[in-house]
Structure 1
């Protein structure tokens, strides 16, 4: 059987794109080996607190990969921008040993930077790759011209040929696709200095009792710092929510449950799940409750789409946790980010979620720090906004990342806040140790008296050069510990080490089952 090797270069086992392509290519008669390069133990505190990601590849792992790709028609890689250098190193090693073997890069980074990503590769796949990659493979096997495949940028000698893009998959086409690959066959993972067979235990090691899934594609918002900011320029239809039927999606979840019987939670990672209609969410909740019967977590909650009715029906289906993007409490900064959401509307959304605090783990709220365009008054307004935000909640604090080619990155380059769009030093920074960052980090742990906050935000220390990095790291640890406590109260031990996490989740599940029989 014809063989393809797909390599996920990110420190993750949850790459949806490469798993979808693996299923589609297998359906069309190819053997597909998937390799997940997880060089860091993502369950350790060190990984959770690190600020940067290395480009290194273990020598033993590299040599084993070179042997594994030997009989492949083509090698495909996928990565986010954080790991593009590692992908380049591996591609160069493959090309050095097998000069005639084609190596293709796809995924978010390839789609964002396009021609700039091709230096170390024979071709770059832009956007949705299922049908495009299949056509590329078929032409390659028949010795036909691959330089005209739509969605592809191809290197031909000293020339780079960029082709137009095919239409995005319709709802009907999404439903005709095979279910995303979530099995164990022909899947491999890095374990230290070796590549070994992917097993059920690896799923629990790197994702705990959670399984990440995605129902809808697309996002109606155009945040200036986000990769979707680039997607809309490629095809305006990226702003539309596309998805298969609920019944198709539920069947996929049933298959996952069968493969991994000890999972307790499905984690929906859609960009804008709550933007779906109330009617569709009601039907989803009904099917999920009746056929799946596990816990549900949802990220991508946009404040303007949160309603009591949607939350109520989802709690009935098993919803335990919501993550929502806030980013700032200052209207000027929100406008800079292209987020047409007012602070009062965000407070209203949190007020809605807090009404269900009896049933929900506290909401995670994302906040962006270290924005050079913000003034001291802007930061003051965000801090006072957090003081008003209904509790309980957790804060996820992120230093602003300048993703290549986004409009915010271009503005930062134009105004000399960053030197270039080189991608080498613009990502994965730990938040600076400034006093405003310290105050914001405090809100992730506890609420201070309002009169104290009002005094501090009007004090001279707000503009001082003093650094509080150690305190901010300590607060991050306390924030992590607080989450572990709340998650454990709901029978979710995701924050513990894999061995005890699986054991306690299993005991909790069996206990609930026994109680129901009484």
Structure 2
């Protein structure tokens, strides 16, 4: 049976899709993974112009060419986020026209977040939960010609009826341990305009990820932030708030497997939602294995201020952690409350103090996420965010995002209740309007101005909804300087994980990257091993003499 799986997103990172593709390839030999990379994620030019995220659009000729490349398959499965939903709809419709017997399934984030939209596509089914075990059950019944419409984690179009099934239990740690490693360099295809789907080569990986490998160790998040798609996952199953992950041995072996195929991989980025929420003992085991068997730098994304603990940072930095990314989102307590994010400014500042103590000696400056252009924000809310960042311990850089409202989240409900036009503010979260308040974020990522000058600059800040002058040329200059500063921070330690292209690859081939990591990258001493917590065990009572 021929199955083709299609990932539609900026770039080819696709961590979740790669996991699913590996699983499907295990249970069905004739499986092909196809990538439609709508816009290279780390394009330097797009970063300078502020046009990252303006993807998900293709000409009709390209849509037809993609559909032609999928035609004739028994099953085609799609994976996309909401930003690429319109494109996915179009490809599905065109494939239905030219290959009506192909069974089409839409999975990934969008059908989970907004199943009501996904099921309106000309698909046979959508996957609304974890896909691996659900698809295995579906495929077994599909092959045998049995009814598939009772498969859990799926919705089905059956004539004029939509069959909505319940959810499977979330995967356990032991079940996660049985999954194959994500598919990486194992015969994937990539779409090129006028050429169709062609073999993916080393150059495609280098163009997208430089010398970096991106993965996830854990799934789940203990928070319930109003703007986050995780709220939908938690609504589907409250147990999603628990952190689940396979063993440290599993994730170490996964990285070793990827490096066996691509020896140039010299850094790893963990995009877990809450890596630092993993208990210390498990992080310590991970650190010891990483140090002994890999010894390359790694970054941790998705750091939550509440879980920043010095002992965790010490053991992970000893193992090779060289940068982190933490979500701040806002410096205004009112907006943090609006987002239902229990990270008060004092806790953010305390976390920043711990993080900054490792940089620049051991870490590349940390990156902090900030959300701007929230129509609910007052001028004071914007000022509060700028003041918090002004007070943060340095050095740091910023990842700045314009607010995008994800469908079916609590934020969408709150915005609609306030009569806010969601479509108007949700076009592109990378496009940052060059207003004074936003431009000052770039300034802070570069330098801390003198207080007297800072006070004068703050007087020009307005809420995003207030009509105000924009400075596009100044914005481009500041964004260019900001990106140059970020690149310099990485180049200083020969880290090419966020710098795409062949430059890093050439440095690796010359042996300079490995030499720098071994000879010129300082690492702290192994922290003192924390004693195990003794657990008192009460011995069983002896049998009573009268009854024993």
TM-score by length of 1: 0.94
Corresponding residue SS for 1:444: helix
RMSD: 2.1
Cα displacement string for residues 444-503 of structure 1 (whole angstroms, at most 9, x for unaligned residues)? 221111222223324587766222233233222211100011100011134555121211
Q: State the shift of 1:60 in Å.
A: 6.0
Q: In structure 2, how many angstroms separate the alpha carbons of the residues matched to 1:419 and 1:179?
A: 38
Q: In structure 2, how many angstroms separate the alpha carbons of the residues matched to 1:55 and 1:387?
A: 36
Q: In structure 1, how many angstroms separate the alpha carbons of the residues matched to 2:369 and 2:201?
A: 33
For residue 137 of structure 2, the aligned residue among 135, 138, 162 is 135
Asked if the contact 2:218–2:243 (Cα under 8 Å) also holds between the matched residues in 1, the reply is yes
Q: In structure 1, how many angstroms separate the alpha carbons of the residues matched to 2:219 and 2:517?
A: 35
Q: State the shift of 1:16 in Å.
A: 2.2
User: What's the counterpart of residue 96 of structure 1?
Assistant: 97
User: What's the counterpart of residue 513 of structure 2?
Assistant: 509
For residue 470 of structure 2, the aligned residue among 467, 473, 476 is 467
Q: Does 1:281 align with 2:283?
A: yes
Runs of 4+ in 1 over 6 A off after TM superposition: 460-464
For residue 375 of structure 1, the aligned residue among 375, 378, 383 is 378
User: What's the counterpart of residue 363 of structure 1?
Assistant: 366
Cα displacement string for residues 293-339 of structure 1 (whole angstroms, at most 9, x for unaligned residues)? 11101101111111221111111111111101001111111111111
Q: In structure 2, how many angstroms separate the alpha carbons of the residues matched to 1:320 and 1:428?
A: 27
Asked if the contact 1:384–1:453 (Cα under 8 Å) also holds between the matched residues in 2, the reply is no
Asked if the contact 1:215–1:249 (Cα under 8 Å) also holds between the matched residues in 2, the reply is yes
Task: Classify 1:412/1:25 alpha carbon distance in 2 versus 1 (closer, same or farther; 3 Å).
Answer: same
User: What's the counterpart of residue 235 of structure 1?
Assistant: 237
Q: State the shift of 1:124 in Å.
A: 0.8
Q: State the shift of 1:410 in Å.
A: 1.3
User: What's the counterpart of residue 344 of structure 1?
Assistant: 346
User: What's the counterpart of residue 9 of structure 1?
Assistant: 8
Cα displacement string for residues 409-440 of structure 1 (whole angstroms, at most 9, x for unaligned residues)? 111112111156xx995443622332222222
Q: State the shift of 1:68 in Å.
A: 3.7
Q: In structure 2, how many angstroms separate the alpha carbons of the residues matched to 1:428 and 1:456?
A: 25
Q: State the shift of 1:356 in Å.
A: 1.1
For residue 387 of structure 1, the aligned residue among 380, 390, 398 is 390
Asked if the contact 1:491–1:505 (Cα under 8 Å) also holds between the matched residues in 2, the reply is no
Q: State the shift of 1:22 in Å.
A: 1.8
Q: In structure 1, how many angstroms separate the alpha carbons of the residues matched to 2:317 and 2:461?
A: 46
Q: Does 1:431 align with 2:432?
A: yes
Q: State the shift of 1:147 in Å.
A: 1.6
Cα displacement string for residues 334-365 of structure 1 (whole angstroms, at most 9, x for unaligned residues)? 11111101111111111111111111000000
Asked if the contact 2:403–2:426 (Cα under 8 Å) also holds between the matched residues in 1, the reply is no
Cα displacement string for residues 30-85 of structure 1 (whole angstroms, at most 9, x for unaligned residues)? 32100011132445333332154344335665455444434422100000111111
User: What's the counterpart of residue 126 of structure 1?
Assistant: 128
Q: In structure 1, how many angstroms separate the alpha carbons of the residues matched to 2:228 and 2:214?
A: 21
User: What's the counterpart of residue 69 of structure 1?
Assistant: 70
Asked if the contact 2:36–2:191 (Cα under 8 Å) also holds between the matched residues in 1, the reply is yes
User: What's the counterpart of residue 311 of structure 1?
Assistant: 313
User: What's the counterpart of residue 171 of structure 1?
Assistant: 173
